[in-house]
Amino acid sequence: MSGWTVEIYYSRFSWKNLVISYSNIVQSYQVSEWRRSIMRDSEYKNFREGKKHTEVTFPYNTYLCSIPLDFSSVPVHWHEEMELIVVKKGRGIVTLDRESRVLEAGQAVIVLPGQLHSIRQCQQERMEYENIIFRLEMLLPKEGDICGPGFLEPYRDGKLLYPAWIDGSAPYHQEMAACIRRLDELSERRPEGYPLAVKGWLFQFFFLLFSGAEPTVAEEGSVKALDKVKQILSRIESDYGKPLSIEEMAGFSGFSPSHFMKFFKKHMGVPFVCYLNDYRLTMAARALAETQEDVLTVALDAGFPNVSYFNRLFKRKFQMTPLEYRKRGKKK
C-alpha cells in the first residue's frame, strides 16, 4: 500500500492531532512514528478541536487508538461531530461533561456535538478503543420528514437528553453493540454501496436509543454553564504563558472570585489553579521534548513564576526532573 489518506475509514490514528493534515502521511509503515510525533505536538492544543475528521461527501470515519501506547491521555476538548467511543480491550476512564466512568471492553459512550469529553488511563492499565466520528447531518432529510425535527435534531442540539453510556445496564445495549459491530465490519470491507449500509445501521442504532430510553428535557442553565466553561478553557489555551490569577479569570467570566472557584471546580472536577498548573506542565513537557530551550526559559514561557516551583511540580507530575524528561525523549 503506497498511500495513506483520509479515504481510509478504519485506521489506527491519534486523533489529538489538531495541526497536521492527513495529506502529510504518505506511507502506512510511518504511522507509529507519526503517532508519537502527534502525541508530543498536541497534548493540550485547542480545546475546540479543529481537525477535519470526515469527508464532506460522506462524513463518517473510524479510528483505533490505545492508551498509553498512543498517548497518556486525551485532554478535555470538543468538536462539531458526533462520536462513539467504543472500548475494545482493557479499560480506561472517560469523562463526559462532568461525569467520569470506568469503561471496559464491550462498553461505549455517545458524545454529542459540542460536548466536553476526555479520556485517561485507569491506574496502569492499557485500553484499546475505537472512535466512530460522523456528522449527524448525514442522516437528516432536507425537509418534510419527521425524522429530523421529531428525533435527530432535538437530540443533536441537546434539547432532549438520552442516556449516553452503553454499559450493558439496559436491555437495548446488546442490540446497540451489535450495530457497532456491523459498522466496524462495513468499515473494514467497504463493499460496493457501503455508505448506504452505514446509514442504515446508524438509523437502527438511534432507533434503539430513542425507543428504549425515556428522554429528559435539558435545563437552560446547564447549556449556558457549558458555554461558559468553553470560554474559560479557551482563555487558558491562549494565555497560559501569562499570569492568570483567580481574580482576573473571575472578571473575565463575569463572576466574583469565590463564585468562579466554585463554578470551575464544579464543572471541571479540580480547582482552577491545579488545572492551570497541569496544563502548563504539559505544555512545558512538549517544549522540553521538541526544543533546545533551557529549563528556565521553558518554565517562564509556560507561565511559571520561577524555576524552582516549576521543577517541584514537574517532578510531582512526571516522576522525573525536566532534564531527565528531555533525555528520555531523545532516547525514543
Domains of the chain, by residue range, sit at 10-217, 240-331
CATH number for the 10-217 domain, one of 3.40.640.10, 2.60.120.280, 2.102.10.10, 3.40.50.300? 2.60.120.280
pLDDT of residue 57: 85
Higher pLDDT, 200 or 2: 200
- The grid coordinates listed for 234 are 479557551
Q: Which three-class secondary structure string do you get for the chain?
A: CCCCCCCCCEEECCCCCCCCCHHHCCCHHHHHHHHHHHHHHCCCCCCECCCCCCCCCCCEEEEEEEECCCCCEEEEEECCCEEEEEEEEEEEEEEECCEEEEEECCCEEEECCCCCEEEEECCCCCEEEEEEEECHHHHCCCCCCCHHHHHHHHHHCCCEECCCEECCCCCCHHHHHHHHHHHHHHHHHCCCCHHHHHHHHHHHHHHHHHHHCCCEECCHHHHHHHHHHHHHHHHHHHHCCCCCCHHHHHHHHCCCHHHHHHHHHHHHCCCHHHHHHHHHHHHHHHHHHHCCCCHHHHHHHCCCCCHHHHHHHHHHHHCCCHHHHHHHHHHC
Mean residue pLDDT of the chain comes to 82
pLDDT given at position 330: 64
Task: Using the predicted structure, report yes or no on whether residue 130 has a pLDDT greater than 90.
Answer: yes
**Range from 124-128, 143-147, 190-194 carrying the lowest mean pLDDT:** 143-147
Superfamily name and number for 240-331 = Homeodomain-like (1.10.10.60)
Q: In the prediction, which pLDDT does 180 show?
A: 96
- Which distant-in-sequence residues (6+ apart) come within 8 Å of 286 by Cβ? 40, 41, 43
- Does pLDDT of 28 surpass 80? no
Highest mean pLDDT among 61-75, 109-123, 195-209, 219-233: 195-209
Beta bridge partners of 74: 119
The pLDDT score that the predictor gives to residue 95 is 93
| Phi (first) and psi of residue 126, to 5 degrees | -100, 140
**pLDDT-derived band at 49, boundaries 50, 70, 90:** low
> Out of 4-13, 134-143, 209-218, which region has the weakest mean confidence (pLDDT)?
4-13
Tens of pLDDT, residues 177-231: 999 999 999 999 999 999 999 999 999 999 999 999 999 887 766 778 888 988 9
Kindly indicate the confidence band of residue 294, based on its pLDDT and cuts at 50, 70 and 90. very high
Confidence of residue 315 (pLDDT cuts 50, 70, 90): very high
> Torsion angle, CA of 3/5/9/13, rounded to 10 degrees?
100
Angle at 285 between CA 284 and CA 289, to 5 degrees: 115
More confident residue, 27 or 280: 280
Most confident of 197-201, 231-235, 264-268: 197-201
pLDDT of residue 251: 96
**Of 312 and 219, more confident:** 312
Task: Report which of residues 299 and 114 the model is more confident about.
Answer: 299
> Is the pLDDT assigned to residue 24 strictly greater than 50?
no
- CA nearest to 167, candidates 99, 106, 91: 106
- Report the alpha-carbon distance of residue 21 to residue 94 in Å, rounded: 26
HSE of 121, CA atoms in CB hemisphere, 13 A = 12
pLDDT band at 143 (very low <50, low <70, confident <90, very high): confident
* Closest to 288 in 3D by CA, of 262, 327, 319, 318: 327
Given a cut of 60, whether residue 241 has pLDDT beyond it is yes
